[in-house]
Amino acid sequence: MIRLPDVLRTFVLALACMAASIAAAQAPAAPEVAARSYLLMDITSNQLLASKDIDMPVEPASLTKLMTQYLVFDALRARKISLTQTLPVSTRAWKMPGSRMFIDPKMQVPVDDLIKGMIVQSGNDATMALAEGVGGTAERFVELMNEQAKALGMKNTTYKNPEGLTAPGHTTTARDLSILATRLMRDFPEYLHYYAIKKYRYPGTPAANDTNRNLLLFRDPTVDGLKTGHTEAAGYCLIATAKRDFPNLPGGRRLLSIVLGAASDNARANESQKLLNWGYTAYDAVRLFDAGQPVATPQVWKGKANTVKLGRAEPIVVSVPSGQASKVKTHVERPDPLVAPFGKNQPLGTLKITLADQPLAEVPLVALEPVEQAGILGRAWDAVRLWIK
């Protein structure tokens, strides 16, 4: 399980909560979506653009595998396993029902291929082999899944298995899935290429079993992930993400749609495409500050520097209904006085953003550079100045 330093953990938690939904009175009407539950998020601005029943308990089906993938990627980064390392295929993995990669106990399969089998083919056998390889046993791996869900703030999720087959109590919500998908993309960008693979099969397995079930990969060139899921109880589910180029956003603009409980494979793709297209046209992305650009430079007391630069390491972007960018205003709230020392990335304030005088988003601001404490004389002089002030 990933463990962040205290300061960074505080920042990440604040970031996860930074932006609320657009004020209802100003938000464009979302399209009709034929699904039990859905949401659309602008990942670039971390804003929820549209939603329905996002806290309703649902079966995640193979969307469960996103958490399995999160833990596998974490194990790769920690060098507990490697992409070229081979893992055995247990009898339990071989006999997994449902979607399969078609591996068997005679094989020793590289981790890289197992990941492709888990993502592209949604193989329950590949998923079980990876869970046993990382966790030792499937049961221990499920414990790790639930620990990580708690660490990520997925308050309404409980895992009973690593692959997503129906089991009592194996439930999540659209909101929790959005947390997982967002963190997966932000924490492990080096592994996101797996989700865009359209066709894959392991040598010696059926050629007909080579196609990614995410139909949007074949329909929309800007879609590059993430995962499908289906059981009789869950219906047809899809977490889709797209990244499109925009003139004012050098890194592009990424949206995430979650559609749960659609009627068919084609329906989940159509409804997801509808949400993505609507999000890109109904909302404009407004870049307020560049990466590393100071939002404010307030005075510092008892420090070797007289000021501290407050901002973010990445651009500050907000999503606003189309044509309303001129109505965006910003205001910085921070402690006063600011007394050194400060570490780099230490939270020191909040950028409050309004649209037409209604709250739109809150962005945590951090010290872009460290400020060391002044010497004895400097601290004494500032103490007098503060007393007079």
Give the residue numbers annotated as catalytic, written as ranges.
62, 65, 122
Neighbour count for residue 270 (Cβ, 10 Å)? 18
- Per the listing, tokens 């460290």 go with 370
User: Quick one: which of 273, 358, 295, 365 has its CA closest to 324?
Assistant: 358
Q: Which two tokens stand for residue 142?
A: 């499920």
Q: What would the two tokens of residue 156 be?
A: 């309404």
